[in-house]
Amino acid sequence: MRAGTLKASFTVTPITPVIGAEIGNIDLSVTPDEATSAALREALVRHKVLVFRDQDISPAAHVAVARRFGELEIHPVFPRHPEHPELVLLGGSEQNKARENIYHSDVSWREVPSMASMLRCVECPVAGGDTLWVNMAHAYAQLPQEMKSRIDGLYAAHDIMPAFGTRMTPQQREENRQRFPVAVHPVVRTHPESGEKILYVNEAFTTHLVNFGEKAEVRVGFDFRVAELELLQYLFRQAAIPEYQMRLRWRPNTIAFWDNRATQHYAIQDYFPAVRRMMRATIIGDKPI
């Protein structure tokens, strides 16, 4: 898909040269029509993260807007809105810190991970609580050619348990292990709309490389495991490079809409014991290839 091919009434202002754009002249309390939705989707694929300010919309409107882009998932662990289960309720409390301060791609542990997420700020501290997003297509493009050759054809395991297992009872862990077995995805996935190559491993959910031994030269056993872990750590660290990132300072009624196929994000936990409350709708995507 070529960027910029659809006419739209909203404005698009890039946030950084590589990721993010602020969208103006749009009211998301009114569900966008087909043409506007298509133009927003095109902007999403191009910029990876879209930011909308001053969107005082209801939970029902939030769900309706997100649904314009696909079917919505029901998260198995996070608390959900009592009237709209498609909306998860994110944020800690004055007693407990939020725990999203790790680079990750949402629900990569699903066999079919999400296409995108739409997050609205309900309440946030006066200072702190920013979120970082990373362009993982750019991260892949900037890898040395030797590294691209090393990871070509590798597959990684993604598991719900490292991040969410501690929030479950033993019975819930057993039930969710049956519902969500370990998913295997390519280390480098291809974006289904842009055709971009994307580095698709993250430190929250990726546990190991399932076929590392097919390409590695192993002298003795510990070479195999140590080399695999070193390679994964190198790939994880790509998300932390500032030149690949944008940073969003939240205000109430700010909405961030990001392409979960091509990004990772990190919610900065620097505001505890202040509280930040968010609502998120997540759009089901496609199986990574």
Q: Which of 75, 138, 276, 280 is catalytic?
A: 280
CA 258/CA 267 separation, integer angstroms = 14
Angle at 73 between CA 153 and CA 115, to 5 degrees: 40
With 80 as the cut, is the pLDDT of residue 94 above it?
A: no
With 90 as the cut, is the pLDDT of residue 241 above it?
A: yes
User: Which residues are CB-neighbours of 29 under 8 A, at least 6 positions away?
Assistant: 55, 56, 57, 58, 61
Q: Which of 47, 75, 104, 110 is catalytic?
A: 104
Q: Say what the pLDDT of residue 163 is.
A: 81
> Sign of dihedral through CA atoms 175, 176, 182, 185?
positive
Using one digit for the tens of pLDDT, what is the confidence trace for 102-146? 999 999 999 999 999 999 999 999 999 999 999 999 999 999 999
The verdict on whether 130 is a catalytic residue reads no
What percent of the chain shows pLDDT beyond 90?
Answer: 78
The verdict on whether 84 is a catalytic residue reads no
The verdict on whether 280 is a catalytic residue reads yes
Residue 247 — pLDDT band, cuts 50, 70, 90? very high
Q: Say what the pLDDT of residue 235 is.
A: 98
CA 160/CA 174 separation, integer angstroms = 12
The verdict on whether 104 is a catalytic residue reads yes
Residue 1 — pLDDT band, cuts 50, 70, 90? very low
Q: Quick one: how many helices (H) and strands (E) in the chain?
A: 7, 15
Angle at 260 between CA 254 and CA 262, to 5 degrees: 115
In this structure, of 30-44, 92-106, 174-188, the range with the lowest mean pLDDT score is 92-106
Please compute the mean of the pLDDT values over residues 157-186 and round it to a whole number: 88
Say how many C-beta atoms besides its own lie within 10 A of residue 13's C-beta: 11
Q: Which of 75, 106, 189, 259 is catalytic?
A: 106
Please compute the mean of the pLDDT values over residues 154-161 and round it to a whole number: 95
With 90 as the cut, is the pLDDT of residue 225 above it?
A: no
